[in-house]
Structure formats: structure tokens, C-alpha cells
Amino acid sequence: MNADASQIIARDAATPNEAAEVAGFAPVDLYQRREKIFTRQIEGRFQRLRLYSGWPLLLGYFLVPWLEWGDRQAVLFDLPARQFHVLFVTFWPQDFVLLGALLIIAAFALFTVTSVVGRIWCGYTCPQTVWTAIYMWIEQVAEGPRHARVRLDRAPWGWEKIRKRGLKHGMWLGWAFFTGFTFVGYFTPIRELVTSLVTFEVGTWSAFWIAFFTAATYFNAGWLREQVCIYMCPYARFQSAMFDKDTLIVSYDTARGEPRGRGQSRDGLGDCIDCMLCVQVCPTGIDIRDGLQYQCIGCAHCIDACADIMTKVGKPTGLIRYTTEHELEGGRSQLLRGRVVGYGIALLVMCGVFVNVLLNRDLVGIDVLRERGELYRVEAATVRNDYALKLINKAQSATRLAIDVQASVPVEVIGATDIEIEGGEVLNVPISLVLPRDALTVPSVDVRFRICDVAGHCNEEISRFLGPVR
């Protein structure tokens, strides 16, 4: 802006907002009322792709809790028993470091994918996107197409409006209950959960969490919708840090489309006929023609809508398309670049380390606790220490555990040293160590408790043998 323009704005504008409008900027009210979004149904290539990618994940979510693995549920996060079963693997609290590593790997995978193909996760596989699409479909079934929903929303309350809104919210709540019940079924055996619901004997906590996740689904997918993506999801905010000019994004070809306009005569106008269909199908209510915006989830609704219009008016498709900034500027995109290579190498290294740790993790665990009653017991010429060994069999099959005690002085072991333990079982084994009093020349001695199963998997823990000070 030059000095003359600044003087004109300062002289003619009475308020800062007026000055901004004169300068070509529209003020934004951060507390403005939310505008309702009535999406138009659209079909196309990318919507079929979303259907093929979303339904397998949806069916997997609802069907996995019903799968059996041996005599238990295939995927079950048993919080009371502190066991997390995933097919043939059982994870224990000691394995939580693996969960942390898995979350880090998932984050780097998301970074890698985003740097190459943008927000494909948000547009095609994010649960919020999938569930919101289902709720929008239910809304169309209950209230009709977009123009009918707009008319119904503006109409006064009457029997017809109550009937249609009641049908919509009833279907919303039904799907939300199905979702919440299934989610709780990952933490409580789902067959037992069904029986308890049918017989009205469901536990208080199970009922609470079913109600909680039912309400969360109902409000997130039914009422909040795009607000979750725009304001609540942090991914929309930091995605720009992973974008560059070679990242695939949904873009409007300004050079080809502008100046936009309607009418039979296209002299001096671009290919965009300003039909507004790209705005009407957008689930977040943005106009993609305004450029890349953080609200865009890359769902490609606008691409399919524009392609349909271009076909009808006899123009080539691609006015709105998946592309990169370099391609829009007439250049060529580069797939292998420093950021992508760096993310990829880090992801491969982390996956390799994770698989190695998972395959070589200890399948037997031991915790050594000293008895709290007394530090030691003096009996004639000996000193005795009592311990409680907590033995864990992380494998799915029964095995025998051999207990070996090692110390710098000879100790006598009192108690069982050969233990039969079932798969996934936790045993508390009492054991005592006895040492000649004359052999104890210091107040404490390190003692190594070592357990091994028949397959050679071993684990150990060090404790202390205490005695009187000489």
C-alpha cells in the first residue's frame, strides 16, 4: 500500500473495521454465530473411492470384537486383569513402552503420508469423517435432499417437521448406541455384554461408558460435525508444517477458471460458471476457490461436483483437482525430496526396532517384593528373609518356570523352585532365603532372582538380603 492510499484510508474510514474494508480486507468476528451447513449429495469417482476405503474400516470396527481366538475374544483390552489381547499376542503393563512406540510410529506414518498426499487420512479414513458422512446420509434419508432440508429448517414447527426431525434424531441415537456399545465391547467381553443388556443386569460402569460414548458419537457426528475438524482437531492446525509446494492438495485452477461468471456468452470469462456447487457439497462449508484453507479435509467432494458440471457444459474436467502448487505454477512435482526421505527413513528404522523388540520381548516376568512384616528374622545361627515373587507368564500356553537364586554368599532357598503356570497367568509365590549368620559380614547382600521357562525365555530381578549389623 502506498502513502497516498494510507492517507485516504485514515481520512475517510471512521473505524478500524471500515479502514480494513477500504483496504480490501474483511474483518472476521471470532464470536460469530455458526452458520448451518446443508450439504448436497454428490456422486463421483472419489466418492466411490471413499466408499471403498471407509466401509472396510467401518465393518472392521463393528466385527472385530466378535472374533474369537482360542477360548477368548480375539481383541480384548481387559483392564481389571491388566491384559491386552490382540490376536496371538498378549500385552502387559510392563509392555506399555511398546504402546508408546506404536503411537510414535503412527504419528510418523501420518507425517510421511501427509507430506506426500496431504490430508488423505482426514478425507477418507478418519472416524470423524466416516461417522459424519453416515449421519449426513441418515439426514438425507429422513429429511430429503438439500433444498428440502433448507426449507424444513426455515419452516415453523409442525407435525411434519416434528416427524422428520424425530426420525432423524432417533436414527442418529440408534447408530450412536451401536457405536458406543461396540466400543465398550473392546474392553468387556462383548457376548457377556449383550447378555447383561438383554437381562438388564449390565454393570454400572459398563452402562456409564456405553451412555458416554453414545452421547459423544451423537454430538460429535450429529451436531458438531465440521466444528470438530476446524476447532477441536489439532491436526488441522499443524498440518501446514508438513506441507510444501510438492504436497498433493485439492486446488482450484485460478488461471483457467477466472474470471468466473454465468450466462450463455463466455466471452472474456473463464471456465468457472459460478454455480456454487463446490461450496454446497463441502462438509466444512468453505469455498475452495478462495485458495488452500486449513478447514479443507481433502475429501474431494468439490472435485466430483465440479467434474460433473464441466462435463455438462462441455468443458474439460480438472478445474478443481488434486494437484500441487508447483503444477499449478506450470512446473513439475518432485516425489522424492528431503522431507519425505527423512520421514521415510525414520519410519523404517522405528518399525524395524519395534518389530525386533516385539519378537524378542520377555515372555516371562518377575517382580520381587519383600514381606512387610519384618526386615529379617534371626533364628539361632541363621538369618532369614521372606519374599513374595510375582511370576507372570506372558505366553498363551502353559509352561514350567524354574527359579534360581544367586548371591555372593551361599544361601538356602526354602519354598518351591519349580512352578507350573498357565498361559497368561499371574502367580504369587512365597519364598524364603536363609543364610548362616557368620557368613553375613555386611548389613545387606545383593540377591539375584532368575526365572526361566522350558523354552529358554528368562528374566531376572535383583533384591537385597538384610541382616543385623555386626
Average pLDDT, rounded, for the chain: 86
Closest among 103, 75, 107, 104 to 89, alpha carbons compared: 75
Grid coordinates belonging to 169? 434424531
390 and 461 housed in the same domain: yes
Residue 21 above 90 pLDDT?
no
Tell me whether residue 249 is in a domain. Answer: yes
CA–CA gap between residue 431 and residue 74 (Å, rounded): 36
372 and 462 housed in the same domain: yes
299 and 369 housed in the same domain: no
How far is the CA of 194 from the CAs of 59, 77, 212, in angstroms? 19, 17, 17
DSSP 3-state assignment of 340? helix
385 and 324 housed in the same domain: no
Tell me whether residue 292 is in a domain. Answer: yes
Q: Going along 129-221, which residue ranges are E strands?
A: none
- In the structure, what pLDDT confidence band is assigned to residue 54 with cuts at 50, 70 and 90? confident
CATH at residue 429:
2.60.40.10
pLDDT tens-digit series, residues 433-460 = 998 888 888 888 889 999 888 888 888 8
Inter-helix orientation angle 159-184/45-63, to 10°: 50
Tell me whether residue 443 is in a domain. Answer: yes
| Domain enclosing residue 8, as ranges | 1-32
Which residues neighbour 467 within 8 Å (Cβ) at sequence distance 6 or greater? 376, 378, 383, 435, 437, 440, 443, 444, 445
pLDDT mean over 198-211: 92
- In the structure, what pLDDT confidence band is assigned to residue 79 with cuts at 50, 70 and 90? confident
Closest among 132, 145, 206, 211 to 172, alpha carbons compared: 132
Tell me whether residue 37 is in a domain. Answer: no
Tell me whether residue 414 is in a domain. Answer: yes
Query: If 0-12 CB within 10 Å is exposed, 13-18 middle and 19+ buried, where does residue 288 land?
Result: buried
How far is the CA of 51 from the CAs of 133, 134, 329, in angstroms? 10, 11, 32
Count: domains in the chain: 3
Q: What are phi and psi of 432, to 5 degrees?
A: -125, 150
Tell me whether residue 118 is in a domain. Answer: no
Residue 30 above 80 pLDDT?
no
CA–CA gap between residue 439 and residue 382 (Å, rounded): 9
CA–CA gap between residue 237 and residue 432 (Å, rounded): 59
Cross-strand partners of 404: 450
383 and 457 housed in the same domain: yes
pLDDT tens-digit series, residues 253-301 = 999 998 988 877 778 889 999 999 999 999 999 999 998 888 899 999 9
372 and 447 housed in the same domain: yes
Residue 80 above 90 pLDDT?
no
Q: Which pLDDT score is estimated for 9?
A: 38
**Cα radius of gyration (the chain):** 33
Whole-model pTM: value is 0.79
369 and 428 housed in the same domain: yes
317 and 377 housed in the same domain: no
Tell me whether residue 225 is in a domain. Answer: no
Residue 323 above 60 pLDDT?
yes
Query: If 0-12 CB within 10 Å is exposed, 13-18 middle and 19+ buried, where does residue 349 land?
Result: exposed
How far is the CA of 339 from the CAs of 13, 326, 351, in angstroms? 46, 16, 18
Inter-helix orientation angle 127-143/159-184, to 10°: 150
End-of-domain residue from the set 328, 348, 378:
328
More confident residue, 404 or 379: 404
Tell me whether residue 447 is in a domain. Answer: yes
Is-cis flag, bond preceding 259, omega within 30?
Answer: yes
